[in-house]
Amino acid sequence: MTLTVNKLLYKLSCVINFLNRKFLGTDFGVFGMVIAAAVGCITLISGFVAFPFAASLLSAGAGYAQIAIFISTLMMVGIATLPLEIKCFDADS
Type of residue numbered 65: A
- CA separation for the pair 40, 73 (Å, rounded): 5
Q: Which residues pair with 25 in a beta bridge?
A: 62
- Could you give the 3-state DSSP secondary structure of residue 8? helix
- CA separation for the pair 12, 57 (Å, rounded): 11
Render the burial of 14-26: b for 16+ CB within 10 Å, e for the rest: eebeebbeebbbe
State the pLDDT at residue 2.
52
pTM beyond 0.85, yes or no: no
Write the Ramachandran bin of 46: left for phi over 0, alpha for psi from -120 to 50, otherwise beta: beta
pLDDT tier at 8, thresholds 50, 70, 90:
low
Residue 3 or 83, more confident = 83
For residue range 26-79, what is the model confidence (pLDDT) as tens digits?
A: 677 788 788 888 888 887 777 788 888 888 888 878 888 888 988 888 888 777
